Amino acid sequence: MSETPRRWVTKVVGQPPERERFEPRAPGPGEALVAVAGCGVCHTDLGFHFDGVRTNHPLPLVLGHEVSGRVVEGPAALVGRAVIVPAVLPCNDCDLCRRGRRSLCRAQKMPGNDIDGGFATHLTVPADDLCLVDEARLGAAGLELWQVAVVADAVSTPFQAVCLAGVAPGDLAVVVGVGGVGLYAAQIAAAAGADVVAIDVDARRLEAAARLGAHVVDAREVPAKELRKAVGRHAKRPTEWKIFECSGAKAGQEAAYGLLVHGATLVVVGFTLERVEVRLSNLMAFHARALGNWGCAPEHYPPALDLVLDGGVQVAPFVEAHPLDAIADVFAAARAHRLERRAVLIP
């Protein structure tokens, strides 16, 4: 392996956090070594660390799957290029991949779950599906490379969900939970031409959604049985409702399912270990459908990034940089909902 800067991983234990020297795996054929510019802190990372959600790769494992950076070793055409690392990397060789169902690939690699992730200075990943970042456009948009780390998951995942739901001009898009993922879902749905209603229990999040042009419904002030009626007041005419559950909470998922109307599409984006009871017959009665969305297929990354670079989706107001050494404090603050913006850890 050629000489590169010192590589460190910061463990989320102890006060202050412990630092360990490590050597990322040398890139093999078809792989790239990426120097991390930033790695976003996601609800999934908190689940792995605090809640006992199992990683696919046995521990110890470096977490972090929301990564932007620069290729320092690997295919010659990529070395020196700014990239976003997709949060889910399909194998591109199995039958599902060959049939265009790459989100279902059973040999997929997720940084921070299947392989070492981005809470370090470097990570080694498959190179085929890295999303190239045009740095001239990035600068013209007033953004830095670390800020677009969130495209790897927080932006791209709801982008695929909006595509999956088939959002079209005139639809009513209802986003349940407008936190680190939901605010992007609201922006992406609006960019697709939908009228957007944002539902949350956090006044700050609702204010942010309102500034982006969404109608807002405070779920603390509306009884659960009245929520669908409250949302319906914002429908300009009878239309298809596209409902996006982004809260990752039991109450949010129950509320989202309770919003089903005739012809509605419900896409579950958030994750919780809590069990939710629903009456499946509602899907039949409303001729509705419920879908799950797992990450984002690599082909959706360039158009998702284009939305950001063209100004259709704002990221700068919703991210903030923290040093990687502060990871223990950042994780604790994120778990306690003390962060107003999505944290991006910078080595």
3-class secondary structure per residue, 269-315: CCCCCCCCCCCCHHHHHCCCEEEECCCCCHHHHHHHHHHHHCCCCCC
**Does residue 23 sit within a domain?**
yes
pLDDT in the model for residue 78: 98
20: DSSP letter: E
Q: 300-317: per-residue pLDDT in tens?
A: 999 999 999 999 999 999
Q: What is the pLDDT of residue 139?
A: 97
Query: In this predicted structure, what is the pLDDT of residue 9?
Result: 53
What's the first-to-final CA gap in the chain, in angstroms? 21
Is 3 a domain residue? no
- Domain count across the chain: 2
The CA distance from 182 to 161, in Å, is 11
- The segments of the chain whose pLDDT lies below 70 read 1-22
5-27 pLDDT, tens per residue?
445 555 544 444 456 666 778 89
- CATH number of domain containing 65: 3.90.180.10
pLDDT at 20: 63
Say whether both 128 and 147 belong to one domain. yes
* Residue 5: per-residue pLDDT: 41
The answer to whether residue 165 is domain-embedded is yes
The answer on 260 and 142 residing in a single domain is no
Co-location of 170 and 129 in the same domain: no
| Pair (180, 263) in one structural domain | yes
For 82-123, write each residue's pLDDT tens digit: 999 999 999 999 999 999 999 999 999 999 999 999 999 999
The reply to whether 315 and 187 lie within a common domain is: no
What pLDDT was estimated at residue 273? Answer: 87
Compute the distance between CA of residue 173 and CA of residue 176 in angstroms, rounded to an integer: 10
Residues 6+ apart with CB under 8 A from 134: 309
Of the candidates 92, 155, 206, the one whose C-alpha atom is nearest the C-alpha of residue 319 is: 155
Domain that holds residue 54: 8-153+296-346
Considering the domain architecture, whether residues 76 and 116 belong to the same structural domain is answered as: yes
Residue 2 in any domain: the answer is no
In a domain, 44, yes or no: yes
Over residues 331-342, the pLDDT tens digits come to 999 999 899 899
Does 164 share its domain with 263?
yes
Do 257 and 144 fall into the same domain?
no
Residue 1 counted as domain residue: no
Same domain membership, residue 276 and residue 163: yes
Does 316 share its domain with 340? Answer: yes
Which of 272, 292, 312 corresponds to the end of one domain?
292
User: Under a CB-based contact definition with an 8 Å cutoff, are residues 195 and 172 in contact?
Assistant: yes
Same-domain check for residues 309 and 282: no
